[in-house]
Structure 1
Amino acid sequence: MKKTLVLGATPDSSRYAYLASNKLVRHGHEIVNVGIKKGDVAGVPIEEAKELHQDVDTVTLYIGTRNQPPLYDYILGTNPKRIIFNPGTENDELEQMARERGIETVEGCTLVMLSTGQY
């Protein structure tokens, strides 16, 4: 299964990042929750964007475009195989930077991808 870093993880059960973390775990994927809020989601603690995880297959974004630039080095530094830009996180600049490094970019919804077997 694909190890997924959920960027923008939150313990707020009304947020899509929370739903995605739980659904990823239910589908058998290992997750890393990264965010600014304290707590845990799907039994995995939320950590700050400090430790670069080198074994990540996918980064799924749940932070808005304007909040992404300070995290470019972190996101790209994890060297994922792909980055999923969930609705509201689309970012041409980051997508271009990722493609230049050979990272696949997907504008889609992690929840829908999991539900339809496209993950």
Structure 2
Amino acid sequence: MKRTLIIGATSNPSRYAYLAAQKLRNYGHPIILVGRKKGSALGEEIHLEKTNWEDVDTVTLYINPSHQPEYYDYIVSLNPKRVIFNPGTENPDFKNILLAKNIIPIEGCTLVMLSIGQY
């Protein structure tokens, strides 16, 4: 199972970040939720602070590229194997930073990847 950090997590069940959290959990992947607003989703706290979590395999992004620079150093410091840029989060500058740190950037959709067995 791949421990996944969701950045842009939300308590709103109609948002893709919430649906991804739900589906990741249904597939047995442990989740960590980080968001811009305090709350909870699926019984998990949405963290506002950038905690140094251990054993993060994947970071999946649900935040606009204009908000991503404040997370660059944080994500790199977690040393995940990959970062998924969900639709609307694509960011060539961050992609290049990740490649330089040997972190795999993936432009894809977490929900689709799970559905087709490519997560």
Q: If the TM-score is normalised by the length of the shorter chain, which range does it land in?
A: over 0.9
Which residue matches 1:4?
Answer: 4
Shift of 1:65: 0.5
| Contact in 2 for aligned 1:49/1:74 (Cα 8 Å) | no
Counterparts in 2 of 1:84-103, with a 5 A limit?
84-103=84-103
Unaligned runs of 5+ in 1: none
CA deviation string 1:7-47 (max 9, x = no partner): 00000111100000010000000000000122211221100
Which residue matches 1:107?
Answer: 107
Could you tell me the TM-score, scaled by structure 1's length?
0.96
Could you tell me the TM-score, scaled by structure 2's length?
0.96
Q: Does 1:21 align with 2:21?
A: yes
Runs of 4+, deviation exceeding 6 Å: none
CA deviation string 1:74-99 (max 9, x = no partner): 11111100000000000001110001
Q: How many residues align?
A: 119
CA RMSD of aligned residues (A): 0.8
Q: Does 1:51 align with 2:62?
A: no
SS in 2 for 1:63: coil
Identity rate, percent: 56
